[in-house]
Chain A
Amino acid sequence: MKYQSQKVAAYYFYCAMALFAAQVTFGLVLGYIYVAPNFLSELLPFNIARMIHTNALIVWLLLGFFGAAYYLVPEESETELHSPKLAILQLVLLMVGASGAVVGYLFRVHEGREFLEQPLWVKLGIVAAALIFLYNITLTVLKGRKTAITNVLLLGLWGIALFFLFALYNPANLTLDKIYWWYVVHIWVEGVWELVMASILAFMMLKLTGVDREVVDKWLYSIVALALFTGLLGTGHHYYWIGTPGYWQWIGSIFSALEVAPFFAMVVFTFVMVWKGRREHPNKAALLWALGCSTLAFFGAGVWGFMHTLAPINYYTHGTQVTAAHGHLAFYGAYVCLNLAIITYAMPHLKNRAPYNQVLNMVAFWLMSGGMAFMTFTLTFAGVVQTHLQRVNGEYFMDVQDQLALFFWMRFGSGVAVVLGVLLFLYAVLMPRKEVVTPGVKTETVPAE
C-alpha cells in the first residue's frame, strides 16, 4: 500500500464479502425451494428470497468495484484520494440503503422490476452515493497522473451511474418498460461493467506480470472499443419478443453475436501478458483468479451467451433454464471472479503483509469454480430438456418442471460446493497466517472446463 487513503478500500471489501456470503446463502435457499417448494413458503417466499439473492449480488459487486477504484486510483494517479471521509460516508449510505431494502423486502415492500425492486428512496440513495463516489474519484484522477487504466475505469464508472438513471423511469407501457429496463441490466453487464472489468484486469496484469504499460494500454483500448461497438446495439438481443419491431431480431442477433469478441480478447490479453511477463509475482492466487476471470467470463458470457443469442434459437430458449445457466456462469466468471481477484491481490497490501493463505485461496477457487461449472452444466441440460418438452412438444410449464427435478437436485448439490468454496475463500482472505508459497513454484493456472 503506497498511499494511506487506499485503506478505505478494505472497508468496501469487507462489506462486499459479507454480502457475498449472504447472497450465496440465499441462493442455496432458493435452490432448496426449487426441490422442496413448501420450504419457508410463509416466512420467505421464493420471490422475496430471489430478490435478496440477486440484489445482494449486484450490490456486493458494485461495492467491490468501488473498493477496487479506491485501491487502484491513488496508486495509478500517484496521489492520495481526494477525500477518504467522503468514501466512508458513501459506504455508510450504501449499506443503510442495502439493509433498508432487505428489511423492506422481508415485509413485502418492493417495486416490481427484476433486479430493480428497490423502493424509490433506496434508488435515490444509490444515486446520491454514486454522485459522491464520482465526485471523489474524478477529483482524485484530475489532480494526479492520468493513465489509460484510470481513464477507462472512470468512463466505466460514469457509465454505470448514468445508465442507472433509467431505473428511475418506469413507463406504464410494458414494452417501453422493458426497453428501458434493459438499458440498465444489459448495458451494465455487457457495456460499462466490461470497461471496469478490462481496466481492473489491466491493472492486475501490470502489477502481476511486469509487462510494459505501453502494451497493456493498447490491449485495454482495443478491448474497450470492441465492448462498446458490440455491446450497445447488442441490447437488441433482448428486444426480440417484447412488442418491438421485427428488425430488432437482425440488429440484436448480429451485434450480440460479436459480443464474444471483447471477452475473447480479454482471454488472449491475460494469457499473453502472463506468458510474456518477466515478473514472478508471489501472489499466485490473485493471478489464478484473474486468469480464471477472463476464461470463465469467456465461457459464461461469450460461449453460453452466444448459444442462445440468435433470434431463431432464442425463440425457443427464451426464459428457460438455459438463461439461468448463462446468467450464473457469466456473472460468476466475469464479475465475481474479477472482484475476488482484486480482493485477493489487494488485501495483503492493505494489511501490509506478504501474500498469505495462498493454497487455501486457490483451493477455494477450484471448489467455487468447479461448483459453478457443474451448476451451469446441470442447468443447461435442464434448459435443453425444458425447451424441448415445453416449447417444442407444448407441455405445461409445471408438468415440465416436475420432470426436471433430478437436475434441480444436482443444482442444489453444486450450490453446496459453491457455498463451501465461498466460506473457504473468506477464511483464506480474512484470517492471515504466516504461510507463504515460495516464488518459483509453478502452479496450474488454466481452469479446466
Chain B
Amino acid sequence: MGDGEGACNEAVEISSGWGPLSALPGDAMMWILIISELAVFGAALAGYAVSRALDPELFSASQAHLDPFSGALNTAILLTSGAFAAGAVRQARAGAIRTTRWLIGIAFLFGLAFLTVKVGEYAGHLADGYGLEANTFFTLYYLVTGFHAAHVVFGLMILALVAAFASEENVTTGCAFWHMVDLVWVLVFAVFYLS
C-alpha cells in the first residue's frame, strides 16, 4: 500500500481512518482512553507490588486495617452495575430506547451504592488515624482507590449523559468507560484486599 497511484486505493482498508481500532465497539477515542487508564492503574499496581516486597511487614500490618467484606460487597455491586450497563448496550442496539434508559438508570444507582460503601470505608480509616500520608501502603491505597472512585464519579456523569442522548453509538461508548471502571476494580480488589 501507499506506493500505488490510484487516489482511492486505500479506501477499503481504512475507510474509517482508525485502522485496527475500528474493530472495537464504540468510539475509538474511548478505547485510547481505556488503554491509557489501564496502563496507569497497571503501573500503580506494579508499583504497589514492588513497594510491598521492599517492606512486607508494614504492608501486611496496614492491610489488616482494610475490611475485605466491604471490598467484596463493592465488587458485587460494581459487577452487577456492569451487567445492567451491558444490557443497556444490547437494548440500544435493538432500538429499545426506553429499556436502555431504565437499565442505565439501575446501573447508575449501583454506582452510587459503590461510592457510599467506599466513603464509609474512608471515614473508618480516617477515624482510626490512617490518612493519605500515614505510610506508603496508605498513600498507595488512597491514590489508587481514590483515583478509581474519581472514575466512578466521572463514569456516573457519562452514564447520565448517554442516557439522555441514547443513540446506540453513545450508549456503547459510555458503557465501555463504565466497564473499564469495573475491570480496574476487579484488579484493585484482588491486589489490595485479597492478597
Tell whether any CB of A sits under 8 Å from a CB of B in the complex: yes
The answer to whether B4 and A278 touch across the interface, beta carbons within 8 angstroms, is: yes
B1-39 interface (Cβ within 8 A of A): 1-5, 9-10, 14, 17-19, 28-29, 32-33, 36, 39
Which stretch of B73-81, B132-140, B154-162, B169-177 is in the interface? Answer: B132-140
Interface of A is mostly: helix
Size bracket, chain A contacts: 20 to 34
**Is the Cβ of A277 less than 8 Å from the Cβ of B43?**
no
For residue B33, which residues in chain A have a CB less than 8 angstroms away from its CB? 225, 229
Contacts A215-B14, A218-B18 hold; do A247 and B139 have CB atoms under 8 A apart? Answer: yes
Shortest C-beta distance, B76 to chain A (Å), equals 29
B17–A215 touching, CB < 8 Å: yes
- Chain B residue at smallest Cβ distance from A277: B2
Known A225-B33, A255-B40, A258-B40; contact A214-B17, beta-carbon cutoff 8 A: yes
Chain B residues near A257: list those with CB within 8 A. Answer: 43
Report chain A residues within 8 Å CB of B124: none
Q: With a CB–CB cut-off of 8 A, which chain B residues contact A225?
A: 29, 32-33, 36
Interface residues of B in 85-121 (CB under 8 A from A): none
Residues of B within 8 A of A214 (CB): 14, 17
Q: Does A222 contact B (CB under 8 A)?
A: yes
Are B139 and A250 in contact (CB-based, < 8 A)?
A: yes
Q: Interface 1/0s, chain A 193-229, versus B by CB < 8 A? A: 0000000000000000000101101100110011001
Instruction: Give Cα A175–Cα B93 distance, bound, in whole angstroms.
Output: 53
- Contact among A215, A221, A246, A275 for B29, CB-based, below 8 A: A221
Within 8 A of B (CB), among A105-159: none
Complex CA–CA separation, A229 to B36 (angstroms): 8
Chain B min CB distance to A76 (Å): 18
Taking the nearest CB of chain A, how far is it from the CB of B37, in angstroms?
Answer: 9
Q: Min CB distance, A434 to chain B, in Å?
A: 30
Contact for A250 among B1, B5, B32, B47, CB less than 8 A: B47
How far is the CB of B158 from the nearest CB of chain A, in Å? 16
Interface residues of A in 235-276 (CB under 8 A from B): 245-247, 250-251, 253-255, 257-258, 261, 275-276
A314 is an interface residue with CB less than 8 A from chain B: no
Count of B interface residues, CB-CB < 8 Å: 27
Look across to chain B and name the residue whose beta carbon is closest to the beta carbon of A233: B40
Q: A251-B143, A257-B43, A276-B10 are in contact. Are A226 and B132 (CB under 8 A)?
A: no
CA distance A277 to B3 in the complex (A): 7
B47 with A253: CB separation less than 8 A: yes
Check if B17 sits within 8 Å of A278, measured CB to CB: no
A261 to B29, CA, bound (A): 15
Which of B1, B2, B17, B40 lies in contact with A218, CB distance below 8 A? B17
Is A230 an interface residue, CB under 8 A from the partner? Answer: yes
Choose among A229, A253, A255, A276 the residue that contacts B1 (Cβ–Cβ < 8 A).
A276
Q: Is the pair B43, A254 in contact by a Cβ cutoff of 8 Å?
A: yes
The answer for the CA separation of A163 and B191 in the assembled complex, in Å, is 38
Residues of A within 8 Å of B36, CB to CB, are 225-226, 229-230, 258, 261
Q: Is B44 interfacial (CB-CB < 8 Å)?
A: yes
A222-B133 in contact (CB<8A) = no
| Closest chain A residue, CB of each to CB of B147 | A251
A217 nearest CB neighbor, chain B only = B17
Chain B residues in 8 Å Cβ range of A278: 2-5, 9
Contacts of A221 in B (CB 8 A): 29
Q: Interface readout for A261-305 with B: 1 if CB under 8 Å, 0 if not?
A: 100000000000001111000000000000000000000000000
Contact status B10-A212, CB under 8 Å: yes
Q: Do A246 and B139 touch across chains, with their CB atoms under 8 A apart?
A: yes
Q: In the complex, are the beta carbons of A222 and B17 less than 8 A apart?
A: no
List the B side residues contacting A222 at CB < 8 Å: 29, 32
How far, in whole Å, are A60 and B14 apart by their CA atoms in the complex? 39
Contact B14 A250 (CB under 8 A): no
- B132 near A218 with CB under 8 A, answer no
- A254 cross-chain contacts in B, Cβ below 8 A: 40, 43-44, 47
User: Cβ of A261: which chain B residues have Cβ within 8 Å of it?
Assistant: 36, 39
Which residues from chain B contact A277 at a C-beta distance below 8 Å?
2
Task: Provide the bound-state CA to CA distance between A271 and B29, in Å.
Answer: 22
Query: Interface on B for A, CB 8 Å cutoff?
Result: 1-5, 9-10, 14, 17-19, 28-29, 32-33, 36, 39-40, 43-44, 47, 132-133, 139-140, 142-143
Given contacts A245-B133, A247-B133, A251-B143, 7 further A-B contacts (CB under 8 A): A221-B29, A225-B32, A229-B33, A245-B132, A258-B40, A278-B4, A278-B9
Query: What would 27 A/B residue contacts be, using CB atoms closer than 8 Å?
Result: A212-B10, A214-B14, A214-B17, A217-B17, A218-B28, A221-B29, A225-B29, A226-B36, A229-B33, A230-B36, A245-B133, A246-B133, A246-B139, A247-B132, A247-B139, A247-B142, A247-B143, A250-B47, A250-B140, A251-B143, A254-B40, A254-B43, A254-B47, A258-B40, A276-B2, A277-B2, A278-B3
- Interchain residue pairs A-B with the least CB separation, the first 4: A276-B2, A214-B17, A218-B17, A254-B43
